[in-house]
Amino acid sequence: MRVLLVAGLDLSLPGGVETHLRELTRELLERGHGVSVYGRWSRREAGPPPPLVERVDPARYDVVHHHGGRWDRSWDAGDRYLRTFHFSVAGKMSVYLRLGRVRTLLNPGNHRALAEERASLRRGSRYIAVAKGVRDELVRFHGAARDAFVVIPNGTRFAAPRVGRAEWRRRHGIGPETPVVLTIGREDYVKGLDLFERAWRMPGARPPGALWVQAGGARPRRDTARIVTGAISPDDVNEWIHAADLGAFPSYYEGCALALTDMLAGGLYVLSHAVGAAPDQIRPGENGEFVPRRAEAWAAALSRRFADTPRPTSLPSAEIYGWPAIAARVERVYERLASASG
């Protein structure tokens, strides 16, 4: 099957949608499909790029799979068009407004993205949502047909660490008994790091010597209670997952964040807001728990879990969340779409 993945992103970057496209491309190629990607690849150190194209010519493909971003009106894919929604613009804007960020309404880019989201739901007849919550937001805000959606989450590699907990900690000057909590993500308001930082500074939130590792950030830095790694490879993120004792996912809004899935797959007990796919993946008391959006609640949850950090008894399954399984489910959607389009 000939497939065009459309995103217009720099796929060499470490973002969630970028990772999704890289992994999906690799798996579809291994399954024998002819895959092209409309996007960019700027970082040579990220490895060889996927098969890139410079223009969108829907007539050359059996499926044109749109992953967000600009869609030119001249790209008439007809009934070969498929859209994956990695989040809902309308849902995200609603959350921001409830949090008092009125300037959300003043950003023209938000309104353009909202118009594109609405147009996407008129452009095709079949859609993929990366979480039930994303599907429900699109139904609620746009009146989309619920039965037109297939929910297929982001995947994870379930990779064992190359270095391992003890050696990784030693390399970074962290003692074997030091309590470590891990967050993953860039320094962006939506990631909730401001809320987590307020909780981290509260008296009693953490035992003496505890360390917060932020995998990501604009630049590396370190003090006595926090390490910010700066941009690092997925393999290094995986090392931090296996070196930590507790995961934290304080995002105000998400679709189906790779960070959460990766932490759960790596065996971390995760404190999280009930956003995106978290309600689909977290079983409270088994592999994580939900925390109200208040610094005091986060401080109390940290204190409780540092005192008694359970090892998860319920982990994501590779049969559901492994990238081969994700690609197989997407492939079935392609087959139904191609069959319906003749």
User: What value does the mean pLDDT of the chain take?
Assistant: 95
pLDDT at residue 41 greater than cutoff 70:
yes
Please give the average per-residue pLDDT across 280-289, as a whole number. 95
pLDDT at residue 341 greater than cutoff 80:
no
Q: What is the dihedral of CA 239, 243, 245, 250, to 10 degrees?
A: -30
pLDDT in tens, 122-135: 998 899 999 999 99
pLDDT at residue 342 greater than cutoff 80:
no
DSSP per-residue string spanning 132-175: HHHHHHHHHHH---GGGEEE----B--PPPSS-HHHHHHHTT--
Phi, psi angle pair for 39, to nearest 5°: -175, -165
Q: What confidence category does residue 44 fall into, taking pLDDT thresholds of 50, 70 and 90?
A: confident
Do 260 and 278 meet the contact criterion of CB atoms below 8 Å apart?
Answer: yes
User: What's the rounded Cα separation, in Å, for the pair 42 and 11?
Assistant: 8
Q: What confidence category does residue 180 fall into, taking pLDDT thresholds of 50, 70 and 90?
A: very high
* 326 contact partners, CB below 8 Å, separation of at least 6: 23, 24, 27, 152, 153, 154, 155
Quote the pTM value. Answer: 0.94
pLDDT at residue 194 greater than cutoff 90:
yes
pLDDT in tens, 74-95: 999 999 999 999 999 999 999 9
Q: What are the C-alpha distances in Å from 62 to residues 69, 207, 328?
A: 21, 57, 17
Written as one letter, the residue type at 287 is N
User: What's the rounded Cα separation, in Å, for the pair 204 and 300?
Assistant: 8
**pLDDT, position 94:** 95
Q: What confidence category does residue 46 fall into, taking pLDDT thresholds of 50, 70 and 90?
A: confident
pLDDT at residue 116 greater than cutoff 90:
yes
pLDDT at residue 227 greater than cutoff 70:
yes
**pLDDT, position 186:** 87
Do 244 and 228 meet the contact criterion of CB atoms below 8 Å apart?
Answer: no
Do 133 and 279 meet the contact criterion of CB atoms below 8 Å apart?
Answer: yes
pLDDT in tens, 140-168: 999 999 999 999 999 999 999 999 999 99
User: What's the rounded Cα separation, in Å, for the pair 118 and 336?
Assistant: 23
Could you give the 3-state DSSP secondary structure of residue 185? coil
Return the higher-pLDDT residue of 316 and 242: 242
Could you give the 3-state DSSP secondary structure of residue 271? strand
pLDDT at residue 282 greater than cutoff 70:
yes
DSSP per-residue string spanning 191-232: GTHHHHHHHHTSTTSS-TT-EEEEE--SS-EE-SSEEE--S-
DSSP per-residue string spanning 19-31: HHHHHHHHHHHHT
* 339 contact partners, CB below 8 Å, separation of at least 6: none
Among residues of the chain, what percentage have pLDDT more than 90?
86
- Using DSSP bridges, classify how beta strands 149-151 and 180-184 pair: parallel, antiparallel or unpaired: unpaired
Please give the average per-residue pLDDT across 236-251, as a whole number. 97
- What residues does 82 pair with on adjacent strands? 65
Query: What burial letters (b/e) apply to 304-337, b meaning 16+ CB within 10 Å?
Result: ebbeeeeebeebbeeeebbbebbbeebbebbeeb
The tokens describing 299, both together, are: 């401080």
Could you give the 3-state DSSP secondary structure of residue 60? helix
Q: Quick count: other Cβ atoms within 10 Å of Cβ 115? A: 11
